């Protein structure tokens, strides 16, 4: 029985003159205009309110990483579970003298990201490194034009943020995500003042590490903790970055 004789055959209309002919459905859809994108209003059936057209959530995390340690590893792991993408970079800190070369710190961060379960979500974007966060944000927006950004900071910076260069513009463009740090209270007047100017979220990671990178840079070798991620310790040893983290050379005696 031909399609034109079927009781289920679509009716012929002005917009679909081929409705009563074989392959009517195919001809109808072939006659539709091409879509610039699945979300375009020019499409006959644009996709609305789907996960694919939601803004990508991006965490921006600049850190001195001199060296990166288990605390950085824990933060990056938590961020990878909460965000679509995590951008981390080694930053220069004008208040920290005698920093290791920026290239070495960036490479250690890259090595650290490879140890994470969701390493595909966490990447080093060294091009975002800048003394001023507003510049980092502008560069990030070129990478993710429709991104929703959260700037990651430690609790020790809560009181300083309103004094940062072009702070008002920063607060207009990103959310502030504060990570707790042992010894620094988050609650208080400083947080209240920041919340009046910015959208602030407090992170609640399952673990907190009372670690400062300066402990690994000290020349008091008996005070250096032995808890660096192995991949970082190996890189430090190979590059001779810190005086107390070198592998002692084996003394070989020769017969006389």
Reported as a single tens digit per residue, the pLDDT across 139-166 is 999 999 999 999 999 999 999 999 999 9
Reported as a single tens digit per residue, the pLDDT across 55-102 is 999 999 999 999 999 999 999 999 999 999 999 999 987 777 788 999
Domains of the chain: 55-239 (3.40.50.620)
Instruction: Tell me the C-alpha distance between 175 and 163, whole Å.
Output: 16
Instruction: Tell me the C-alpha distance between 242 and 238, whole Å.
Output: 11
Higher confidence at residue 48 or residue 139?
139
pLDDT score of 49 more than 80:
no
pLDDT score of 104 more than 90:
yes
- List the strands of the sheet with 85-90, edge to edge: 122-124, 85-90, 57-63, 148-154, 175-179, 200-202
Q: The whole model's pTM is what?
A: 0.75
Confidence (pLDDT) at 144: 97
Confidence (pLDDT) at 246: 62
Q: How confident is the model at residue 128 (pLDDT cuts 50, 70, 90)?
A: very high
Query: By C-alpha distance, which of 165, 79, 75 is closest to 121?
Result: 79
Confidence (pLDDT) at 135: 98
Mean pLDDT of all residues in 9-16 = 48
Mean pLDDT of all residues in 112-126 = 98
Instruction: Kindly give, in sequence order, each residue whose CB lies less than 8 Å from that of residue 144, ignoring residues fewer than 6 positions away.
Output: 56, 58, 85
Confidence (pLDDT) at 52: 61
Q: What percent of the chain has pLDDT over 70?
A: 75
Confidence (pLDDT) at 24: 46
Q: What is the DSSP string of the chain?
A: --GGG-TTPPPP-SS-TTTTSTTHHHHHHHTSPPPSSTT-TTSSS---S-GGGSPPEEEEEEE--SS--HHHHHHHHHHHHH-SEEEEEE---TTS-SPPPHHHHHHHHHHHHTTSTTGGGEEE-GGG--SSHHHHHHHHHHHSTT-EEEEEEEGGGTTTGGGSTTHHHHHHH-EEEEEPBTTB--SSHHHHHHHTTS-EEE---S------THHHH-S-GGG--S-S-HHHHHHHHHHT-STTSSPPPPPPP---
Instruction: Tell me the C-alpha distance between 25 and 2, whole Å.
Output: 15
Instruction: Tell me the C-alpha distance between 88 and 124, whole Å.
Output: 5
pLDDT score of 13 more than 70:
no
Higher confidence at residue 17 or residue 150?
150
Confidence (pLDDT) at 251: 36
Confidence (pLDDT) at 254: 40
Compute the mean pLDDT over every residue in the chain, rounded to the nearest whole number: 81
Helices 102-113, 70-82: inter-axial angle, 10-degree rounding: 60
């Amino acid at each position: 029985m031909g399609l034109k004789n079927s009781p289920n055959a679509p009716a012929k209309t002005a917009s679909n003159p081929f409705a009563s002919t074989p392959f009517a459905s195919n001809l109808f859809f072939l006659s539709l205009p091409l879509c610039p994108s699945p979300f375009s209003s020019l499409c006959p059936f644009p996709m609305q309110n789907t996960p694919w057209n939601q803004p990508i959530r991006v965490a921006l995390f600049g850190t001195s990483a001199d060296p990166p340690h288990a605390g950085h590893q824990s933060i990056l792991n938590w961020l990878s579970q909460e965000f679509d993408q995590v951008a981390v970079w080694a930053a220069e800190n004008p208040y920290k003298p005698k920093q290791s070369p920026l290239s070495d710190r960036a490479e250690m961060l890259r090595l650290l990201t490879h140890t994470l379960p969701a390493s595909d979500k966490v990447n080093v974007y060294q091009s975002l490194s800048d003394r001023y966060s507003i510049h980092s944000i502008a560069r990030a927006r070129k990478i993710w034009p429709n991104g929703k950004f959260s700037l990651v900071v430690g609790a020790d910076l809560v009181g300083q943020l309103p004094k940062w260069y072009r702070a008002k513009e920063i607060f207009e463009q990103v959310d502030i995500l504060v990570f707790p740090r042992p010894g620094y209270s988050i609650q208080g007047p400083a947080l209240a003042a920041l919340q009046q100017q910015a959208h602030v979220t407090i992170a609640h990671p399952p673990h907190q590490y009372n670690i400062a990178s300066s402990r690994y840079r000290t020349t008091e070798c008996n005070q250096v903790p032995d808890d660096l991620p192995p991949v970082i310790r190996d890189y430090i040893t190979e590059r001779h970055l810190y005086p107390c983290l070198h592998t002692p050379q084996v003394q070989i005696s020769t017969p006389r």
